[in-house]
Chains A and B, each alone.
Chain A
Amino acid sequence: MSGLKALRNKVAIIGHAQSATIRRPTETLGVTAFRTAREAIADAGMTPQQIDGFIAATMLPSSGAHELEDGISLVSAEWMAAHLGADPHLVAGFQGFGQITGSLNIAINALASGAVDYVLLHRALYNPPGRYNNNPMTHVAGWQQWNAPQGFFGALPGIALAYNEYMQRYGCTRETTARIAVEARKHGSRNPLSYWYGKPLTIEDYLAEPVLVDPMSRLDCDIPVQGVAAFVLTTAERAKDHPHKPVYIAGYANSYGSDRRLHLNWTLDEMEREGQALAARLWEGTGYTARDVQLPQLYDGFSPFIYVWLEALGYLPRGEAHQFVAEGGIDSDKPGAIPVLTGGGALGCGRLHGLPQLLECYRQLAGRAGERQRDVSVALMTYSAPHIGGAVVYTNDPA
Chain B
Amino acid sequence: MTARPVPVPDETSAEYWAACAEHVLTLARCSNCGQFSHPPDIICPLCHSPDPAFSFETVDGGGKVRAWVTIHQSFLNGFDTPFMLVDVQLDDQPTVRMIGRLLDGPDAPVSMGAAVTLGFEDIAPGVSIPAFRLGGAA
A in complex with B: yes
A positions within 8 Å CB-CB of B? 63-64, 131, 133-143, 145-154, 157, 160-162, 164-165, 168-169, 210-216, 259-262, 265, 267-268
Q: Are B39 and A146 in contact (CB under 8 A)?
A: yes
Q: Quick one: closest A residue to B66, CB to CB?
A: A165
Given A147-B99, A267-B97, answer yes or no on A138-B6 (Cβ-Cβ < 8 Å).
yes
Q: Which 4 residue pairs across A and B have the least CB separation, nearest first?
A: A260-B45, A141-B8, A214-B70, A145-B7
A257 to B101 Cα, complex, angstroms: 26
Q: Chain B contacts of A165 at CB under 8 A?
A: 66-67, 87, 112
Q: Quick one: closest B residue to A261, CB to CB?
A: B97
Which range contains the number of B residues in contact with the other chain?
A: 35 or more
Q: Are A150 and B131 in contact (CB under 8 A)?
A: yes
A145 to B38 Cα, complex, angstroms: 12
Q: Are B4 and A143 in contact (CB under 8 A)?
A: no
Q: Quick one: closest B residue to A161, CB to CB?
A: B67
Given A162-B67, A262-B39, A265-B97, answer yes or no on A149-B6 (Cβ-Cβ < 8 Å).
yes
Q: Chain B contacts of A149 at CB under 8 A?
A: 4-7, 123, 127, 129
Given A137-B5, A150-B131, A168-B112, answer yes or no on A213-B72 (Cβ-Cβ < 8 Å).
yes
Q: Chain B contacts of A157 at CB under 8 A?
A: 69, 71, 85
Interface string of B96-136 (1 = CB under 8 A from A): 01111100000000011000000001010001011100000
Interface string of B59-94 (1 = CB under 8 A from A): 000000011111111111101001101010000000
Q: Are A213 and B70 in contact (CB under 8 A)?
A: yes
Give me 12 A-to-B residue pairs in the complex whose CB atoms sit less than 8 angstroms apart, sorted by A's number. Answer: A135-B75, A148-B7, A149-B4, A150-B85, A150-B100, A153-B75, A212-B73, A214-B70, A260-B41, A265-B97, A267-B87, A267-B97
Q: Which of B7, B69, B82 has the most CB of A within 10 A?
A: B69
A135 to B74 Cα, complex, angstroms: 10
B55 proximal to A (CB < 8 A): no
Q: Are B37 and A151 in contact (CB under 8 A)?
A: no
A168 to B111 Cα, complex, angstroms: 9
Q: Chain B contacts of A168 at CB under 8 A?
A: 67, 111-112
A154 to B: closest C-beta gap in Å: 5
Q: Are B112 and A161 in contact (CB under 8 A)?
A: no
Q: Among A136, A145, A212, A213, which residue has its beta carbon within 8 angstroms of that of B13?
A: A145
Q: Chain A contacts of B67 at CB under 8 A?
A: 161-162, 164-165, 168, 268
A267 to B112 Cα, complex, angstroms: 14
A265 to B97 Cα, complex, angstroms: 9
Extra contacts besides A140-B6, A259-B45, A262-B97 (20): CB < 8 Å: A133-B75, A134-B75, A139-B7, A139-B8, A141-B7, A145-B9, A146-B38, A148-B7, A149-B123, A149-B129, A151-B71, A153-B75, A153-B76, A157-B69, A157-B71, A212-B72, A213-B70, A261-B38, A262-B39, A267-B97
Q: Among B2, B9, B39, B101, which residue has its beta carbon within 8 angstroms of that of A151?
A: B101
A168 to B121 Cα, complex, angstroms: 28
Q: Chain A contacts of B37 at CB under 8 A?
A: 260
Given A135-B76, A168-B112, A262-B99, answer yes or no on A213-B10 (Cβ-Cβ < 8 Å).
no
Q: Chain A contacts of B137 at CB under 8 A?
A: none
Q: Are B72 and A214 in contact (CB under 8 A)?
A: yes
B3 proximal to A (CB < 8 A): yes
Q: Chain B contacts of A213 at CB under 8 A?
A: 69-73
A149 to B76 Cα, complex, angstroms: 9
Q: Which of B41, B71, B111 has the most CB of A within 10 A?
A: B71
Q: Quick one: closest B residue to A134, CB to CB?
A: B75
